[in-house]
Chains A and B, each alone.
Chain A
Amino acid sequence: MTESAEIPQSGPPNSIHADWESEILSFKDVKLLRKCIQCGTCSGSCSVAPLADFTPRMIVNMVARGDIKQALESRMIFLCTNCLACSVRCPRDIPVADLMVKLRNVSISAQLAGLQDNAATREFVRNVLKRGRVYEPELMVRFAMMTSPLSLLGMVEQAITLFQKGKMGLPSRSGTDLSDLKARFKGGKKHG
């Protein structure tokens, strides 16, 4: 690739803002975004675009234009299920789904993500790293307590079903040393 990686910057040069920008611009395929022809194949393939504020095509355009704050604040980046339909179909080979992941990483570390998204993501990772294996009952209860405790009532019936089918019991432990990943999880510096 010979093309210059210069991407027009927008907004005032405030330090936190600059931090997000450099983080997003460190996305390995950021140069590819400028090859987007805005055809909308990604948006047409997306299962959740009809329910989102901005489509994947618009998110790619925002980042390519340097309007990173708008992209980070979009509901789309957390509605995305990372099903990869956009990436597979893109005629310019832009990894749109990977861009969504990168935006989520920064949105969470910059504390821009909403309560539900932040709690779901952090609690999941905390749960995985605690034993090396997910323990769903603990995850669901902790998530509900952080977001809407009453939602626990709605989970009772499913919990009983799972218990009766023998699919829910005591937690299992991997025993594998995950201290390096735990340190990364606890440390504020998560990219790099």
Chain B
Amino acid sequence: MCATLGIELTEIQGWVCCGATPTASFDYEISLGLGMKNLGMVNANDSIVTPCSACFKNLKNAEVHMKDIKAQTPNVRHLFQTIYDDVGLEIVKSKVVNPLKGLKVVSYYGCLLTRVDPRFDSPENPVKMDKLAVALGAEALPFAYKMKCCGGPVILSKHDLSVTLAATILKAAKATGAHAIMVLCPMCGTMLDLYQKEALKGGEEGHIPIAYFTQLMALSFGLVPEDVALSLNTVSSRPIFEALTGGGR
């Protein structure tokens, strides 16, 4: 999908886990240390791109710290910023061969992204994801739970609370009549997808597919199913395909 847009991705040799939320809870300095090790492995002229909100937050903290101490640092970007802000919607639109006609989605930012970096999108009324969905040919429905926490950070220590938070979002999304939830973070994706059966109870007919935004992009770009990878999600993606009228399959 990135190759289609002319984005060249290289895996950082020796990357380390950003420490997610629990590491900062234990000791903020270790969390910062992990972030700085990752930044140190990247050429300061390059951008470091992450698909995840928690990595983005921790790497951004490290980037801010490096700038504070006047050290050279690569630019930290979330993949959505790379695509929406750096590549731009016009180019994305030009790559769409199978517009997602008939597909209704709600955009789910998750909690961190609009709050860590004010340039990401408005922290009160974000619209960039909706614009992306429309550019792909889908319909973006209004969604009041765009930035409510998915519960992911406390899944280990507070399992029931975490699943309750995910259930709130899933039920609200279903109530809008959307066919799918588009997400920007793999952790939110896991909470809403892998834990959906536990959160919503009931049978599969009441479930709603969760798609990482690049999966919907790949679908509209007409890429092969292995690159769209919707079959790797836990919840069946059938409602997405059923909603698409004319092409996209």
Residues of A within 8 A of B (CB): 47-48, 51, 78-79, 81-85, 87-88, 101-102, 104-105, 108-109, 116-117, 119-125, 128-129, 132-134, 139-140, 143, 151, 158, 161-162, 165-167, 174-176, 178, 180-181, 184-185, 190-191
A-B contact count (CB 8 A): 139
- Interface set, chain B 137-155, CB cutoff 8 A to A: 147-149, 151-154
In the complex, the answer to whether B157 meets A82 with C-beta atoms within 8 Å is: no
Name the one of B16, B26, B34, B147 contacting A122, with C-beta atoms under 8 angstroms: B26
Would you give 13 A-B contacts (Cβ < 8 Å), ordered by A? A81-B153, A81-B154, A82-B21, A82-B24, A82-B153, A84-B112, A85-B149, A125-B27, A133-B15, A174-B14, A181-B30, A185-B26, A191-B29
Closest to A180 in B: B33
Chain A residues positioned under 8 Å from B19 (CB to CB): 125, 128
In the complex, the answer to whether A121 meets B16 with C-beta atoms within 8 Å is: no
In the complex, the answer to whether B157 meets A117 with C-beta atoms within 8 Å is: yes
Chain B residues positioned under 8 Å from A167 (CB to CB): 232
Shortest CB-to-CB span from B37 to chain A, Å, is 6
Chain B residues positioned under 8 Å from A51 (CB to CB): 161, 164
Chain A residues positioned under 8 Å from B26 (CB to CB): 104-105, 108, 121-122, 124-125, 185, 190
In the complex, the answer to whether A84 meets B115 with C-beta atoms within 8 Å is: yes
A181–B15 Cα gap in the complex (Å)? 15
A143–B154 Cα gap in the complex (Å)? 13
Is B28 in the interface zone, CB < 8 Å from A? yes
In the complex, the answer to whether B34 meets A101 with C-beta atoms within 8 Å is: no
